[in-house]
Amino acid sequence: MAKRILLIEDDPFLSSLLKNRFIKEGFDVDLAQTGDAGIKALKESSHDLILLDLILPGKSGFEVMEEINGDPLAPKIPILIISNLGQDSDMEKGKELGAVGYLVKARTSIDSLIGKAKEFLV
């Protein structure tokens, strides 16, 4: 059974690119374009990794993480943040909320992002 990724990303180009690349690598991918849609997707099916943008319509990525952490029934799924927020304070907050990694989009290639994600899918 293929590992399942939840990609919570509102940029249509990037989300399409990442989804297609992960599918080519043999993974199943669910796409959510808002924080609320991401929370809904988490409740509807199981995932092995969450790729989470922070700047989203409605709920921010930080709010999504806070909601996941506040739900005692939520499964513990590794969360890899992919964001253009590159301040140290944002990175620290992400790690405090449980992110296993933090990649700044502007400084990360698609290949590097795929490689980092695969580390949590073995």
pLDDT in tens, the chain (122 residues): 799 999 999 999 999 999 999 999 999 999 999 999 999 999 999 999 999 999 999 999 999 999 999 988 777 899 999 999 989 999 999 999 999 999 999 999 999 999 999 999 87
The pTM for the full model equals 0.95
Angstrom distance (rounded) from CA 113 to CA 116: 5
Residue indicated by tokens 């980092």: 116
CATH code of the domain in which 47 resides: 3.40.50.2300
Q: What pLDDT sits at residue 122?
A: 77
Q: State which residues form the domain around 45.
A: 4-119
Q: Are the beta carbons of 33 and 57 closer than 8 angstroms? A: yes
Q: Which of 100, 103, 98 is nearest to 82 (CA)?
A: 103
Q: What is the CA radius of gyration of the chain?
A: 13
Query: Considering its fold, how many domains does the chain have in total?
Result: 1
Angstrom distance (rounded) from CA 115 to CA 80: 12
Q: Which of 35, 36, 18, 38 is nearest to 27 (CA)?
A: 18
Angstrom distance (rounded) from CA 100 to CA 17: 22
